[in-house]
Amino acid sequence: MTDPNQQLDLLFGSFARSSWRWECQGDYAIDAAALQRWRDGRPADMTRKAPWLQYIREITAAGKTFDRVRMLTEPPTEYLRWLVEQTDSNIDAGEDIRWITQSAAAELGMPSYDFYLFDDSRVAIMRFGPDKLLSDLEIRDEPDVVARHRAYRDAVWPRAMPHSDYYAPRST
């Protein structure tokens, strides 16, 4: 069986123009120490995130886009409250991240699974196990499947709130 994380890494390395993600789980696996730092009100340790941020800077410098919409459960889970406060570094690196409430996403008929849309021509449907880790990646490029996922993106993107409008960091 192929490791879904390796499959995803290959997709990250092969798209030519754009990557777009629908992110709708209320919780994902997280480093417990990172969450505890946040609970304690201490600044994030950016060491683990540095390779991702460097990757985003490189692809956006090359003219590629990396966008996502994150769904906020109602009420937001602790994970999502933490994530909101961790997103500025992604924005600074070049990602365009937007937020939408669960009820607004439901009104739009958004799916209950996460997916990436690469170059408007390939979909990577993500499934997570009980441990909240990525357990399966289904890669599809059939025109009807791609068109359905482009329609999801086109419906939610203009309704989602840019991160800078949603969240203003606490002043220190």
Quick one: pLDDT at residue 172?
44
Do strands 122-128 and 161-162 pair parallel, antiparallel, or not at all (unpaired)? unpaired
Architecture, CATH, for domain 4-166: 2-Layer Sandwich (3.30)
Cα separation, 10 vs 103, in Å, equals 34
Q: Is the pLDDT of residue 170 over 80?
A: no
Using alpha carbons, list the distances in angstroms from residue 152 to 15, 28, 133: 20, 22, 24
Considering only CA atoms, give the Rg of the chain.
16
pTM of the prediction? 0.94
DSSP H helical segments within the chain, as ranges? Answer: 4-14, 32-39, 50-61, 78-86, 88-93, 102-107, 143-156, 163-166
pLDDT of 50 > 90? The answer is: yes
Which SS3 state, helix, strand or coil, does residue 88 take?
helix
User: Measured between alpha carbons, how far is 84 from 168 in angstroms, rounded to an integer?
Assistant: 10
Q: Is the pLDDT at 104 greater than 70, yes or no? A: yes
**Sequence spans of domains, the chain:** 4-166
DSSP character at residue 169: P
Beta strand pairing status for 122-128 and 134-140? antiparallel
When pLDDT is averaged across residues 10-30 and rounded to a whole number, the result is 96
pLDDT of residue 169: 63
Q: pLDDT per residue over 124-138, tens digit each? A: 999 999 999 999 999
